[in-house]
């Protein structure tokens, strides 16, 4: 991934936040017929430095990849079109053009298939616990008959990606003046695009504290 220095994300906590906030990753694999991509919700185990997930048993990806195969998982955070009209300096110089702001994390690693009940049951339980947390009455596997859950678990296969390298990029108008960045963030808020606006404003706070992205 092309990452100019001023767009490079180096803060590990910020990178982890994107993965956890936008857990639907794109698993990119190399198969005999070429590149393949699957969209899968992942769980990050930060302590072990692995990503865990499950796929349908009918999905050929778990059989197409050899154990230890190199893979790429892409997590896309907030994103938005940015009009040059939102920058005060545009109206003074008329030398700015449209662009797109975004956050993205590329996780490189080696894939291992985990086709056993304990792993799959654990992944499903943890993913469910995280994503049901905001519900008034969170669903849990115990809400269904054991035989039904056993049947559903047999229809999926666990996968794990041992992380070898992470690249992360946050293109948040860092190459523009402060007043331009602030104006663009305000316009995004007005348009209901709070995720990108908040990301840009969070970046301003890191500058104020003297932190590094």
Q: What are 130-144's pLDDT values in tens digits?
A: 999 999 999 999 999
Sign of torsion over alpha carbons 115, 118, 121, 124: negative
Q: Say if residue 32's pLDDT is above 60.
A: yes
Output DSSP code: residue 126. Answer: H
* The two structure tokens encoding residue 190: 């007005």
* Residue among 7, 188, 178 nearest 86 (CA): 188
CATH of the domain at 57: 2.30.110.10
Q: Which residue has the tokens 């053009």?
A: 97
Tell me, yes or no, whether 190 lies in a domain: no
Nearest in space to 186 (alpha carbons), one of 176, 197, 175, 177: 197
85 within a domain of the structure (yes/no): no
In a domain, 86, yes or no: no
Whether 191 maps to a domain, the answer reads no
Supply 195's token pair: 């995720």
Q: Is 57 contained in some domain?
A: yes
pLDDT tens across 96-130, in order? 899 999 999 999 999 999 999 999 999 999 999 99
Is 124 inside a domain boundary?
yes
The token pair at 130 is 């995280």
Establish if 35 belongs to a structural domain: yes
Contact yes or no for 199/103 (Cβ under 8 A)? yes
| Average pLDDT of the chain to the nearest whole number | 94
Q: Span 29-43, mean pLDDT?
A: 95
Is the pLDDT score of 20 beyond 60?
Answer: yes
Tell me the pLDDT band of 211, cut-offs 50, 70 and 90: low
Residue-wise pLDDT for 69-99, tens only, equals 999 999 999 999 999 999 998 888 888 899 9
Q: What whole-number distance in Å separates Cα of residue 148 and Cα of residue 127?
A: 18
Q: What is the pTM of this model?
A: 0.92
Residue 13: burial class (beta carbons within 10 Å; 0-12, 13-18, 19+): exposed
66 and 43 Cβ atoms separated by less than 8 Å = no
In terms of residue numbers, what domain contains 146?
5-80+98-175
CA angle 19, 206, 23 (to 5 degrees): 10
In a domain, 41, yes or no: yes
Report the number of distinct structural domains present in the chain.
1
């Amino acid at each position: 991934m092309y990452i100019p220095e001023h767009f490079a994300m180096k803060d590990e906590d910020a990178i982890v936040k994107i993965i956890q906030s936008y857990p639907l990753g794109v698993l990119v694999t190399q198969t005999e017929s070429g590149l393949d991509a699957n969209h899968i919700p992942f769980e990050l185990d930060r302590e072990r430095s692995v990503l865990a997930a499950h796929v349908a048993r009918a999905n050929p990806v778990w059989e197409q990849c050899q154990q230890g195969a190199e893979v790429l998982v892409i997590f896309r955070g907030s994103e938005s079109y940015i009009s040059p009209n939102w920058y005060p300096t545009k109206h003074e110089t008329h030398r700015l053009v449209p662009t797109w702001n975004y956050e993205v994390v590329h996780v490189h690693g080696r894939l291992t298939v985990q086709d056993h009940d304990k792993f799959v049951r654990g992944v499903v339980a943890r993913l469910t616990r995280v994503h049901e947390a905001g519900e008034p009455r969170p669903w849990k596997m115990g809400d269904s008959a054991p035989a039904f859950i056993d049947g559903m678990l047999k229809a999926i296969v666990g996968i794990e990606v041992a992380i070898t390298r992470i690249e992360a990029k946050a293109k948040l108008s860092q190459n523009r003046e402060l007043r331009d960045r602030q104006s663009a963030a305000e316009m995004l808020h007005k348009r209901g695009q709070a995720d990108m606006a908040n990301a840009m404003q969070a970046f301003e706070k890191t500058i104020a504290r003297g932190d590094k992205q």
